[in-house]
Structure 1
Amino acid sequence: MIDTHWQALLDATRALHRDVPELAAFCDFPDTVTPQAYAAKHDPLCDAMLGQTGLTTLPALQAFHDSALTAARSAHWRDTYRDTPFGETLHAHFGSFEVVGRDTVLSAEGMRSFFVYQAPGFHYPMHHHPAEEIYLVLAGSGEFHLQGSGSRVLGPGAIVHHPVNAPHALTTHAAPLVAYVIWKGDIQKKPVWTETDALA
């Protein structure tokens, strides 16, 4: 049986994909989501995120935002770059857990989605991946950089699209960033750093 917190997150995620036009247009939400046993893996950034005060989201995003924060305590926080140059530094400031997809309680095919937190005052360097991606900013703000395009500082409700293998980066300033991220296409390959020399 699925934990009540994860059932609430599944219901809120399905509603979010239905009610936010950009998410509905980006990819279909899986018809079948199968609960699976998946061990929790704590990250100190979860505590930092839950300890933040003064962050607000939009009313239309509140149910998903709140259910994700509740599920965060029992989620498997990811180590995507832990064994790469800059990995330890990154994971001291940027954390995420999978909501729907492969490495999560809510197993599904065809897409992967993630709940993301980036601490204030941090630059997540240029990276890329074969999955096509969109960000939905839930709370806080971030400066989004896409190679070949201008940078944009965006807050709650903003949608950011990253094409396949397009190098992109993210900078937080005074506020942290809380976001929901969706992958489609080639969703099994990890992201890689675009310019490893810049990480030294």
Structure 2
Amino acid sequence: MALPAEKPAPRKIPAADLLKSWADGHTGVTLSLRDAVRGITDYADWQQTYTEEEVGAEFLSRYGYFELVGPSGHFQSNEVRAYIAYWGENLYYPWHQHEAEELYYIIAGEALFEAAGMPPQILRAGDTRLHTSNQPHAMTTAGSPVLALVLWRGAGLTGLPRMSAEP
């Protein structure tokens, strides 16, 4: 891993302000990580993968991520990507898939995770979930937002998620 020649410029989105003001949803184990993420929201290069046509304006107003490690991250790597991602409460993240394997580590909040070939599962702070290459998956938040560390590895590292039909 290397530092980029140029630091990514900070970019704000509405979800960053929601994250900064959110104080619940953690465990004692994840509290310091949740606080560290909240502390750097103004310095992060926040992104959104999807278009309004794909997920709607309401979803985009309460969703976002920034890449810590990866081809365009704060630390550059072509072997792994590490994101911090936020989804607001009462959001449905539709079925999608991507070539890279994906691991979610929940920092705060909770959400219902669904994936082809696996039973639905509610994940809370401290829980993990692995999605294999091209495994369709979806997520629904209810009364709590969710903040996660998301890791990608393997083929398709630079590819984008593709919306898919429910399996």
Do both proteins adopt the same fold according to a TM-score greater than 0.5, normalized to the shorter chain? yes
- Tell me what 2:163 maps to: 193
Residue 75 of structure 1 and its aligned partner are, at CA, apart by 0.9
- Structure 2 residues not aligned, in runs of 5+: none
Please say if 1:150 is aligned against 2:119. yes
Letter in structure 2 aligned against 1:52:
W
2:119 aligns to what SS in structure 1? coil
Is 1:136–1:159's contact at 8 Å kept on the other side of the alignment?
A: yes
Rate the CA distance shift 1:84–1:189 in 2: closer, same or farther, 3 A. Answer: farther
Whether 2:65 is the aligned partner of 1:65: answer: no
2:135 to 166, 171, 175: 166
**In the alignment, residue 129 of structure 2 is paired with which amino acid?**
V
The within-5 A match list for 1:11-50 is 32-35=1-4, 36-50=6-20
CA distance in 2, matches of 1:43, 1:129: 24
Structure with the greater alpha carbon radius of gyration: 1
Q: Which residue of 2 aligns with 1:77?
A: 46
TM-score (norm 2): 0.89
User: 2:124 & 2:54 partners in 1: Cα distance?
Assistant: 30
Q: After TM superposition, where is structure 1 displaced by more than 6 Å over at least 4 residues in a row?
A: none
Q: Is the 8 A contact 2:44 2:66 kept in 1?
A: yes
Greater helix proportion: 1
Secondary structure (helix, strand or coil) at the match of 1:34 reads coil
Q: Which residue of 2 aligns with 1:113?
A: 82
Q: CA deviation at 1:83?
A: 6.0
Amino acid at match of 2:54: P
